[in-house]
Amino acid sequence: MTQNHDLLAEDAATLDGLRTILEPNKGKMRGPAARPTFDDIMSHTPSADGVIYEEATIAGVSGWWCVPAGARAHEAIVHLHGGWFVWGSAGAYRHLTGQIATASGAAAFVADYRLSPEHPFPAALDDALTLYDGIVELGFQRIAIVGDSAGGALAVGLLTRLRDRGANSLAPAAAVLLSPVTDLTLSGATWESRSASDLYFTRDQVAGLIALYLNGQDPTLPTISPLFEQLHNLPPIRVHVGDAEMLLDDSLRLVERAAAAGVDARADVWQGMQHVFPGSVATLTAARLAMQDIGAFLSNHLVPLEPSASR
């Protein structure tokens, strides 16, 4: 299922200004040397009012708790950040995670999973599973998974790993994916059709980053590219993606396959928007509207049904 959102006039003007700033640097960030630049970009997401940020380590995985005022007990969000498996840190992403926590009313933990090339596949996915088990051991009873960009691949990988463990695992209540990477073979048609409109990446830049993560592994493996995974028996999934980004097809095809497997899955496609646009809550109306949708979806699935409503 796909829900399309029109481009608002005020956002069109903002995006025109953004294009002037971003296009000269498109595709220039490459390899681990770009980590400080990437973190600086992500840290510009504003902090949500009332959120308490606290560094922590859970089951050996470090990160940040982002706890909104009035957070509901026993509910948690695990956020797996983006950065093409090479960039990104929990510290730089904590404000985006805090925005999601505030919108949903639940505490969220953003993880510093291990990065490539120092720690190629499957290190990041192993960390995600270890972290989830650690969150369960802390006593949280309702857990949602959020993943953006490369973190989207890790999020779906975590969902399928937990499913395959069966009754031995507490099943996640829901998942939200922001511009997820789902096909590391880069076979989606929008790698070509959106190559001009995407303001951040180029195909050869992304291919180089993916190679660092794969370290010689086959990108068609379902544990690497969740688009090729069996997607049955997963919790409800919502995907938010920009129509102007090259990763559009990664989102649409994942949702199509998940829905065909019987999963409650929907892609919200926002016209004119760029990669992981919900982080731009300070400047884009679409980002604020998407964040409201994300918060409502997570809250609806994290809050358990009253006994009378579940009969």
79 is catalytic: no
Catalytic site residue 245? yes
For tokens 């890790």, name the residue: 154
Helices marked H in the chain — which ranges?
Answer: 9-22, 35-42, 90-104, 123-137, 150-165, 190-193, 203-214, 248-260, 285-302
Contact predicate 17/23, CB 8 Å: no
At which residue do the structure tokens 């404000």 appear?
95
Q: Annotated catalytic residue: which of 245, 251, 280, 301?
A: 245
Q: Name the token pair of 12.
A: 């069109």
Residue tagged active-site, from 5, 81, 275, 301: 275
Catalytic one of 149, 179, 225, 280: 149
Report the distance separating Cα 167 and Cα 174, nearest Å: 17
8 A C-beta contact, residue 199 and residue 26: yes
Residue 149 annotated among the catalytic residues of the structure: yes
Residue 41 tokens read as: 């970009």
Cβ pair 138, 57 in contact under 8 A: no
Cα–Cα distance for residue pair 51/98, rounded to 1 Å: 6
What is the bridge-based pairing of β-strands 61-67 and 107-111? antiparallel
Q: What are the structure tokens assigned to 173, written together?
A: 């209540």
Kindly report the number of other CB atoms within 10 A of residue 215's CB atom: 12
Q: Which residue, 232, 226, 280, 221, is CA-closest to 254?
A: 226
CA count, 13 A, side-chain hemisphere, 167: 0
- 47 phi and psi angles, rounded to 5 deg: -75, 140
**Gap between the Cα atoms of 90 and 63, Å rounded:** 5
C-alpha span between 144 and 113 (Å, rounded): 17
Residues marked as catalytic: 149, 245, 275
